[in-house]
Amino acid sequence: MAGFFRYAFLIVDAEAKSILIIEDEPDMAMGLKDALQFEGYRVVTESQGEDGIIASRRHRPHCIILDLMLPDLNGYKVCEEIRAFNPTVPIIMLTARSQEADKLRGFDSGADDYVTKPFSVAELLARISAVFRRVDAAASASDAQVLTLGDVKVDLRSQTATDGGRVQQLGFYEVEILRYLAEREGSPVSRDDILDRVWGIEASPTNRTVDNFIVKLRRKLEKNPNDPRHILTVYGQGYKLVT
């Protein structure tokens, strides 16, 4: 009962960051909502994938917590649908699946982080805080904001890549990998360095995650992704950027 009153009289700041929870287990959804509201976040919950997609359009949350197993659509599909119109919102995927292949599929569908059930609320809060720190740091970055890669102009601030009249949106982690490679232009950067700089120690991606994002970047920025001229593999060391 004490816990109920702890949350029942909570007043959430209207300027607080908002979080959308897409989770079909009522107890899990309510527990997460209570914990996040107690931390000062504004929270919206949905139990269906389609409803979650609609809510993400309507509310434009600062972060989305997305369960993988939903009654109507799986989380991969929901993530892809959201990414089609909002490529930058951080998405943290929740799942009971712990296999690396499942995690890689989650990252490939557009997830920013991946939390395996069971997990502690403290762990999830730490991951949310880490995501927001990286987003805030990227927003206030003072380094060069435009990269020229052949015919492609990449605006790091707007997260867009323009080739002639064609404009493509880049995701947050794609931009941060490019930003880091640009800082070390011409020098090899290891996968571990990219993981540490871009994801941070609180996250749990793998070296394969970096490789997947590099593949996605090449598809968007290279004329021939199979024979890249700008995002190069340095075998045995990592990747380097050549402008």
239 falls in which pLDDT band (50, 70, 90)? very high
> Are the CB atoms for 241 and 184 separated by under 8 Å?
yes
Q: Angle at which helices 121-139 and 172-183 pack, to 10 degrees?
A: 60
Joined together, the tokens standing for residue 197 give: 């700089």
For the whole model, what pTM was predicted? 0.68
> pLDDT tens across 83-141, in order?
888 888 889 999 887 666 777 777 778 888 888 888 888 889 988 988 888 777 666 65
123-143 burial, b for 16+ CB within 10 Å, e for fewer?
ebbebbebbeebbeebeeeee
Averaged pLDDT for residues 39-50: 95
pLDDT for 2 beyond 70: no
Q: What is the CATH number of domain 2-139?
A: 3.40.50.2300
- Whether omega before 118 lies within 30 degrees of 0, making that bond cis, reads yes
**Average confidence score pLDDT of the chain:** 84
Nearest Cα to 52, choosing from 30, 19, 26? 19
For residues 28 and 181, what is the distance between their CA atoms, to the nearest angstrom?
A: 39
Q: What is the CATH number of domain 146-241?
A: 1.10.10.10
3-class secondary-structure state, position 59? helix
Query: Positive or negative CA dihedral for 49, 78, 209, 159?
Result: negative
The larger pLDDT score, comparing residue 102 to residue 70, is at 70
What is the model's pLDDT at position 30? 95
Nearest Cα to 81, choosing from 53, 48, 45? 53
Task: Give the Cβ contact number of residue 212 at 10 Å.
Answer: 16
Q: Is 227 left (phi over 0), alpha (psi -120 to 50) or beta?
A: beta
For residues 88 and 46, what is the distance between their CA atoms, to the nearest angstrom?
A: 20
What is the model's pLDDT at position 203? 55
Domain ranges of the chain: 2-139, 146-241
Amino acid at 75: G
